[in-house]
Amino acid sequence: MLNMLRNELLLEDPNRYKNFLRMDNECFNKLLRMILPDIEKQNTKLRECISAEDRLAVTLRFLASGNSFRDLMFATRIHESTISLIIPEVCEAIISNLITEYIKLPTSAQEWKRVADEFNVKWDFPICLGALDGKHIDFEAPKSAGSFYYNYKGRNSIVLLGLTDANYKFLYVDVGVNGRVSDGGVFRESSLKKGIDRKILNFPEDSLCQTAPSRCHMS
């Protein structure tokens, strides 16, 4: 049923298709090819498996909408207990296949300089090695968690700390710290901060900003 819905949206309204999955069909198929070996199942004599296309689609719809598994069950005709198994499996496949290619820190001073040059050219922001910020991801916390995930906005969340280049591309992500912790607290305990403190990230040497010496920094 989900595959039929995708095809109908693609034929009738590509914009609604993109809104439904947060990506166009070309991107969907590219992602599917990359993770297919990890999510494809085989039919048995007793049961026809859920296709890899439907597995990816229900996962993307969950990530795009935040709908409950029960709501997704009514929309996809896939039982919520099965959805609860599919989504972590597909997410793990996406992470394991894409993370080293699409989310990676520069490894040399020259690569960091290219990041800084792009910030200077595109945003008129010199000697900047990345834009760093935190984002609260709201969720329904376990009843036993108490106020552990309760943030200053009055909601339960975990924090995503991200570093991006001038083109909004993620260079680094730290996710999972409970929402009670501030952005600064997340950063202080992150592997990025530890790498900076240990001087193992191969940052460029101090350089000149106009007429005054300045250290490379993150905004």
Q: Which domain holds residue 162?
A: 103-214
Res 52: pLDDT: 95
**219 domain-assigned:** no
How many whole angstroms separate alpha carbon 161 and alpha carbon 180? 14
Res 10: pLDDT: 82
Mean pLDDT over 65-77 rounds to 90
| Composition of the chain by helix, strand, coil, percent to 5 | 50, 15, 35
Q: Are residues 187 and 93 in the same domain?
A: no
Res 46: pLDDT: 82
The model carries a pTM of 0.75
Query: What's the total number of domains in the chain?
Result: 2
Question: pLDDT tens for residues 159-195?
Answer: 999 999 999 999 999 999 999 999 999 999 999 999 9
Q: Are residues 161 and 111 in the same domain?
A: yes
How many whole angstroms separate alpha carbon 163 and alpha carbon 190? 12
Q: Are residues 114 and 203 in the same domain?
A: yes
Cβ atoms of residues 214 and 207 within 8 Å: yes
pLDDT winner (highest mean) among 110-119, 139-148, 205-214: 110-119
Percent of the chain with pLDDT over 70: 93
Sign of CA dihedral 94, 95, 97, 98: positive
Q: Are residues 54 and 136 in the same domain?
A: no
Q: Are residues 207 and 113 in the same domain?
A: yes
Per the listing, tokens 């260079």 go with 171
Q: Are residues 47 and 9 in the same domain?
A: yes
